[in-house]
């Protein structure tokens, strides 16, 4: 079975306010196979946690390794919100009604 060429993933990830830092999470992702770039955006905060949206781009991204590395920092992956697979990425254009 051929392995999917994952080019982009977007994850919903929560982390504690104290640790890990956003830099710790970014460095863990950066060290994963196939990752070229990572963008972490804070989407919300409460007393104990920070919600983030993490966009990762590259070629043949090792999804399982990315999840393991994020969870190793102490952050929690809640969902995979977007995935782009194949030879090139395409823009996601929302429908307007």
- Kindly report the pTM of this predicted structure: 0.85
Strands (E), the chain: 6-16, 35-45, 49-58, 76-85
**CA angle 91-69-57, nearest 5°?**
15
Banded pLDDT at 4 (limits 50, 70, 90) = confident
7 burial type by CB count under 10 A (0-12 exposed, 13-18 middle, 19+ buried): buried
> Under CATH, to which class is 6-85 assigned?
alpha beta
Nearest to 7 by CA among 88, 81, 80, 96: 88
Q: How much is the average pLDDT of 40-64?
A: 94
Q: Give residue limits of the domains in the chain.
A: 6-85
């Amino acid at each position: 079975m051929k392995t999917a060429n994952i080019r982009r993933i977007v994850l919903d990830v929560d982390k504690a306010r104290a640790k890990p830092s956003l830099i710790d999470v970014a460095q863990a992702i950066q060290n994963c196979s196939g990752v070229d770039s990572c963008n972490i955006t804070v989407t919300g905060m409460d007393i104990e946690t920070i919600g983030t949206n993490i966009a990762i781009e590259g070629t043949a991204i090792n999804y399982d390794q990315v999840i393991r590395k994020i969870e190793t920092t102490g952050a929690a992956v809640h969902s995979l919100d977007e995935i782009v697979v194949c030879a090139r990425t395409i823009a996601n254009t929302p429908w307007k009604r």
